[in-house]
Amino acid sequence: MNRWLLHPAAKPVVFLLALLPFATLLGGALTDSLGANPAEALIRGTGEWALRCLWLTLAVTPLRLWFGWTALLRLRRMLGLFTFFYALLHFTAYAWLDQGFALEAILRDIAKRPFILVGTAALLAMLPLAATSFNRAVRAMGGRRWQALHRVVYAVALLALLHFLWMRAGKQLFGEVAVYGGLLAVLFGARLHAWRQRHRAPALHRAAPGKG
């Protein structure tokens, strides 16, 4: 897997695959083939792909730890930017197709409906992550501060899941929510275990000289 991921074609292939849902939705909109409610299809479709890209981004570290796929790290930034891309499209589709870009109506709707408020908060939290996803930002901030900022992605994931839960709750559709929630629990659990292992090793090393 690492050999394939390090191939020069790996990044372009992943880029095209991540762009394919957008092309499909755009094509459907242009050909009027998104069903009886194309606006809802666009809003829902972009939101679901934002969620999938976010989960894929979070899966990079656990997959690297479990299977040794270290080369996945070179794709994480791209997946994170596609998460922001689809989340921004999701909000834009809502603001345009549902609210007609009427700022007052959008603000009133955000304040009135908790699930939209939570989704908007997730998007706003992603803004600094997307803005600092480039090498120049890492060098300017320093690795430690950059990493601390990008841990906000965990809060983004929880907000996104809550947004999805509340959206589905209106129609009593909890199956997909349970799947996403279960996957997130596994991903968070893997990261927590790795964190505990990293902090346990230095403690054991310090305690070793005192034995015997």
DSSP-derived secondary structure for 59-70: HHHHHHHHH--G
pLDDT band at 205 (very low <50, low <70, confident <90, very high): low
Burial of 109 (0-12, 13-18, 19+ CB in 10 A): middle
CA-closest candidate to residue 101, choices 111, 92, 114: 92
Average confidence (pLDDT) over 103-125: 96
DSSP H helical segments within 36-113, as ranges?
38-67, 73-93, 103-112
Burial of 118 (0-12, 13-18, 19+ CB in 10 A): buried
Return the pLDDT at 195: 79
Return the pLDDT at 198: 76
Q: What is the pLDDT of residues 26-62, one digit of tens each?
A: 999 999 999 999 999 999 999 999 999 999 999 999 9
Residue 57, C-beta contacts closer than 8 angstroms, at least 6 positions apart: 76, 79, 80, 83, 153
Residue 121, pLDDT above cutoff 80: yes
Return the pLDDT at 200: 73
Return the pLDDT at 212: 41
